[in-house]
Amino acid sequence: MIDIINVEQTFGDRRILKNVNLQINKGETMVILGASGSGKSTLLKMMIGLLKPTSGKILIDGRDITRMPETELNEQRKHMGMVFQYSALFDSMNVKENIAFGLRMHTKLSEPEIDQAVKEKLHLVGLDGTEELMPSNLSGGMKKRIGLARAIVLEPEIILYDEPTAGLDPIRSTDISLLIKNMQEKLHVTSVVVTHDLKSAELIADRMAFLYEGSFLEIGKPSALYQSKDPRIKQFMNGLPSSPDIEKEGDE
């Protein structure tokens, strides 16, 4: 379980996250929604220990990663996979080496075992036989899939996704969302997905959390967000243009 307790983040004099609390249960898919700049990626970076909060705690299975020494944090990260917004593949490595990277870093698997693990993960993401391709020869959707294969290669208990469907056309976006769902069903991982893609969120979320200017306004089943009376949530869920009146109304 991931337990975010009273987390605050300031950059200079800007308070980006304000007293954030969120519990993510084992095996669930939590989707974090919110407008650009609301602090979603900042929170995700904290969950994998890339950024330390200004104050507060982040417990993973009861252990506070914000206070862990680097060696222990690295150990913890082996149980976590991250899918980055722009795939973040190594351009000079082929698909196999990109996926095998974590295995070479963190395990002592033999070459045939690595081959087998890469093959299995490529099969899971529907890209059998692409081991020798270079990232420059892959479409955006394929790169996302390879990013996903790389994130699951160490069979993590937690997968964090930063905008997994960003930059994809609607059909590819649905493909990736279904893949995330499929992965969830097969691997029973705990997933945290940051997105503004509502269609994708609906397909994959067990629960949703709506971040607004650094605070959660609502955390609950998707229906709770769709039925919310808060004008700031209604506006986002209905894709309405921003209006100063809505912000004023929401602050009352």
Ligand X SMILES: Nc1ncnc2c1ncn2[C@@H]1O[C@H](COP(=O)(O)OP(=O)(O)OP(=O)(O)O)[C@@H](O)[C@H]1O
Q: Compute how many other C-beta atoms are within 10 angstroms of the C-beta atom of residue 10.
A: 14
Instruction: For the CB of residue 138, give the shortest distance to ligand X in the complex, in Å.
Output: 23
Instruction: For the CB of residue 247, give the shortest distance to ligand X in the complex, in Å.
Output: 17
Whichever of 100 and 210 has its CB closer to ligand X, that residue is: 210
Whichever of 13 and 245 has its CB closer to ligand X, that residue is: 13
Whichever of 184 and 195 has its CB closer to ligand X, that residue is: 195
Whichever of 15 and 78 has its CB closer to ligand X, that residue is: 15
Q: What are phi and psi of 60, to 5 degrees?
A: -120, 115
Instruction: For the CB of residue 99, give the shortest distance to ligand X in the complex, in Å.
Output: 26
Q: Compute how many other C-beta atoms are within 10 angstroms of the C-beta atom of residue 151.
A: 23
Instruction: For the CB of residue 153, give the shortest distance to ligand X in the complex, in Å.
Output: 26
Residue ranges with strand state E in 89-214? 158-162, 190-195, 207-212
Distance between CA 94 and CA 96 in Å, rounded? Answer: 6
Distance between CA 246 and CA 234 in Å, rounded? Answer: 10
Whichever of 18 and 78 has its CB closer to ligand X, that residue is: 18
3-state secondary structure of 179: helix
Instruction: For the CB of residue 35, give the shortest distance to ligand X in the complex, in Å.
Output: 7
Q: Could you list the residues that contact ligand X (CB under 6 A)?
A: 11, 16, 34, 36-42, 196
Closest to 167 measured CA to CA, from 183, 192, 184, 143: 143
Buried b or exposed e, range 167-196, using 16+ CB within 10 angstroms? ebeeebbbbbbebbbebbeebebbbbbbbb
